[in-house]
């Protein structure tokens, strides 16, 4: 296994988006807002030799909203 991607959808309300972020920060510590090489805004963690990035992929057109968490080796 070289990587892992986790999707946590929510109903589009900011309180739910924040609750998911709070759960991730409770587990992995304070997140660092950052910009990726391909110009995406993500929250990032570095844990050991792993890189975690959480991106809010809220789509206003079809109403879908989710946190997409990508875990990869550093």
CB of 33 or CB of 48, closer to other proteins: 48
- What number of other Cβ atoms are within 10 A of residue 5's Cβ? 10
Looking at the DSSP assignment, which residues form a beta bridge with residue 44?
32, 53
Q: Which is nearer to other proteins, 16 or 44 (CB)?
A: 16
Q: For binding to other proteins (CB under 8 A), which residues are involved?
A: 1-13, 15-16, 19-20, 22-24, 26-29, 47-48, 50, 57, 59, 62-66, 68-72
CB of 74 to other proteins, least distance (A): 13
The beta-strand segments (E) located in 1-74 are 4-9, 32-35, 41-47, 50-56, 66-73
């Amino acid at each position: 296994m070289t990587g892992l991607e986790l999707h946590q959808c929510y109903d589009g309300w900011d309180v739910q988006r924040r609750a998911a972020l709070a759960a991730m920060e409770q587990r992995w510590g304070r997140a660092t807002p950052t910009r990726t090489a391909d110009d995406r805004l993500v929250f990032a963690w570095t844990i050991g030799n792993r890189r975690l990035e959480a991106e809010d992929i809220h789509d206003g057109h079809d109403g879908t909203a989710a946190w997409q968490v990508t875990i990869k080796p550093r």
